[in-house]
Amino acid sequence: MGLAVLLGLFALLVVIGTPVAFALGIAAVAAFFYEGLPLIVAFQRIVSGVTVFSLLAIPFFIFAGELMFHGGIAARLVRFASSAVGAVRGGLGVVNVFSSMLFGGISGSAVADVSALGSILIPVMKEKGYSEDYAVNVTVTSSIAGIIIPPSHNMILFAVATGGGISISSLFLAGVVPGVLMCVCLAAAAYVVAVRQGYTAEKFPGWTALVLHAVAALPGLLTAVIIVGGVLSGVFTVTESGAFGTLYALVITALVYRSLTLRGFKLAVVNAVRTTSMVMVLIACASAFGYMLTFYQVPAKMIEFLTGISEDPVMILLMINVMLLLLGMIMDMAALILICTPIFLPVVAGFGMDPLQFGMILLMNLGIGLCTPPVGSVLFVGCAVGKVAIEKAVRTIWPFYLAILAALVMVTFIPEISLTLPQLVNG
């Protein structure tokens, strides 16, 4: 009955529109009260959820992404991508995917990706004769690269949700190949759709222009190199690399590019504070909620439930993927990382799956949820930027869904995609 109180009250609060963070906290406190547990323990769990040193990296990553969003790095990356791959048939679609791979790997945020690149590329694509729904769909689905390609604050959340036993540097490495693979699949889908629709190729600007655009984009690209390279080399901790990366992004956008205005800086600060506050409150409340899930032995019951349906690991992995896809369609990504990790990780670990591989599966599934109604925040932002009705975009987005699902299937059943790079680097 206590579990029914916990999950039922949480579901009710979410349905009536309560913010997910508060729904988690209220449901957890109600379950503590129902079981007669000291409420001081509930609040201790809430506070302890955010007293993790590695979480300090999250505000730095978020602030660095905001600085790059408002500091003109995205525009330079788009010019470089256009010079490199724009001559392909339907080239602006491929440029869109390639730009997302580059910018997403710097910003670590799907929303920042679709906001920054969408405001640049969607109007240009429509001006060049591309349909508005095609432009929005490519931008929205390719923005998931920001979640998987390092650095990504969502990977830090996953590491925290596992109990802190996973190296964040290994997570960063594990995300490189799956992220690039997903972008390759999306680029192929963008090309196929462009050919079917009869979109033309852009003119190759010449090697001189390509080199010049690459040089202009290089300082921005080095932001990701500094953050990830500093962690992998052991020069910085994750938190230190985030702080240094933020300082570097500020110097590049304000002093080198000189495209960060005072207004842009203020917006970056305000947005970073707002996003960080939301994430931290969510982590705190999810900690108490997760404690009650463990109290009610939900992970063990989930293992029993799934193995009761089938003993076949392939079937169980497919069921977990479907569950994550459905949950991603109706709930916030950060909350699902914190809730689903302690539930499903023991299940897949029982079949010998490495936590690094499961982390990539989890992030890709929930990333698809960001592009899917009814709670597809990235889809909503993309449609707002492109001034396209959500219904119109959803009707033609299925080739891009299929591309991401193809990458997801490969990541799920080919462990080497996620594990080879960490194994090579870490020995």
Instruction: Indicate if 231 and 119 belong to the same structural domain.
Output: yes
Tokens of 416: 């080497």
Residue 267: how many other CB atoms lie within 10 Å:
14
What is the extent of the structural domain holding 201?
49-260+296-426
Least confident segment among 92-106, 173-187, 255-269? 92-106
Smallest CA-to-CA distance from 121 within 74, 61, 84, 166 is with: 74
Residues 107 and 249: their CA atoms lie apart, in Å, by 10
Question: 180: burial class by Cβ within 10 Å (0-12, 13-18, 19+)?
Answer: middle
Tokens of 293: 């899930």
Instruction: Indicate if 109 and 251 belong to the same structural domain.
Output: yes
Instruction: Indicate if 355 and 376 belong to the same structural domain.
Output: yes
pLDDT(407) > 80: yes
User: Tokens 């999306």 identify what position?
Assistant: 186
Position 372 in a domain = yes
Over the range 191-218, which residues count as b (16 or more CB within 10 Å of their CB) and which as e? Answer: bebbeeeebeebeebeeeebeebeeebe
Question: Residue type for 280, please?
Answer: M
Q: What is the pLDDT of residues 55-103, one digit of tens each?
A: 787 888 888 878 877 777 777 877 887 787 767 776 778 888 887 787 7
Distances (CA, A) of 307 to 10, 232, 250, 350, 409: 26, 38, 51, 11, 21
Q: What is the mean pLDDT of residues 140-161?
A: 85
Instruction: Indicate if 192 and 256 belong to the same structural domain.
Output: yes
Instruction: Indicate if 291 and 381 belong to the same structural domain.
Output: no
Highest mean pLDDT among 22-31, 61-70, 113-122, 376-385: 22-31
- Cα-Cα-Cα-Cα dihedral sign, residues 159, 423, 365, 301: negative
Position 266 in a domain = no
Specify the number of domains making up the chain: 2
Position 273 in a domain = no
Sequence length of the chain is: 427
Smallest CA-to-CA distance from 94 within 107, 85, 104, 105 is with: 85
Smallest CA-to-CA distance from 231 within 243, 248, 219, 247 is with: 243
Distances (CA, A) of 315 to 298, 304, 308: 20, 14, 12
Instruction: Indicate if 320 and 249 belong to the same structural domain.
Output: yes
Tokens of 337: 């990382």
Task: Say how far residue 276 (Cα) sits from the centre of its chain.
Answer: 15
What average pLDDT does the chain have? 83
Find the helix or strand (DSSP H, E) in which 49 lies.
none
Evaluate whether 284 touches 50 at the Cβ level (below 8 Å).
yes
Position 276 in a domain = no
Distances (CA, A) of 422 to 44, 106, 226, 357: 35, 20, 18, 11
Please identify, among 295, 321, 346, the residue that sits at the C-terminal boundary of a domain: 295
Instruction: Indicate if 73 and 156 belong to the same structural domain.
Output: yes
Instruction: Indicate if 39 and 154 belong to the same structural domain.
Output: no
Residues 139 and 114: their CA atoms lie apart, in Å, by 6
Position 170 in a domain = yes
Residues 210 and 204: their CA atoms lie apart, in Å, by 9
Residues 335 and 377: their CA atoms lie apart, in Å, by 14
Residues 139 and 106: their CA atoms lie apart, in Å, by 16
Residues 246 and 257: their CA atoms lie apart, in Å, by 15
Cis peptide before 399 (omega within 30 of 0): no
Q: How many C-alpha atoms does 338 have within 13 Å on its Cβ side?
A: 28
Local confidence band at 106 (pLDDT 50, 70, 90 cut-offs): low
Evaluate whether 241 touches 227 at the Cβ level (below 8 Å).
yes
Q: What is the pLDDT of residues 312-327, one digit of tens each?
A: 888 888 989 988 888 8
Q: What pLDDT score was predicted for residue 174?
A: 92
Q: What pLDDT score was predicted for residue 177?
A: 92
Please enumerate in sequence order all residues whose Cβ is within 8 A of that of 410, keeping only pairs 6 or more positions apart, or say none: 181, 417
Please identify, among 245, 270, 295, the residue that sits at the C-terminal boundary of a domain: 295
Local confidence band at 412 (pLDDT 50, 70, 90 cut-offs): very high
Evaluate whether 300 touches 61 at the Cβ level (below 8 Å).
no
Position 217 in a domain = yes
Residues 347 and 316: their CA atoms lie apart, in Å, by 9
Least confident segment among 64-78, 100-114, 224-238, 362-376? 100-114
Q: What pLDDT score was predicted for residue 285?
A: 85
Instruction: Indicate if 147 and 87 belong to the same structural domain.
Output: yes
Position 416 in a domain = yes
Residues 42 and 37: their CA atoms lie apart, in Å, by 8
Question: Residue type for 70, please?
Answer: H
Instruction: Indicate if 156 and 185 belong to the same structural domain.
Output: yes
Residues 163 and 178: their CA atoms lie apart, in Å, by 24
Instruction: Indicate if 129 and 38 belong to the same structural domain.
Output: no
Q: What pLDDT score was predicted for residue 163?
A: 78
Residues 45 and 288: their CA atoms lie apart, in Å, by 5
Position 222 in a domain = yes
Instruction: Indicate if 196 and 206 belong to the same structural domain.
Output: yes
Q: What pLDDT score was predicted for residue 16?
A: 86
Q: What angle do CA 260, 264, 268 make, to 5 degrees?
A: 110
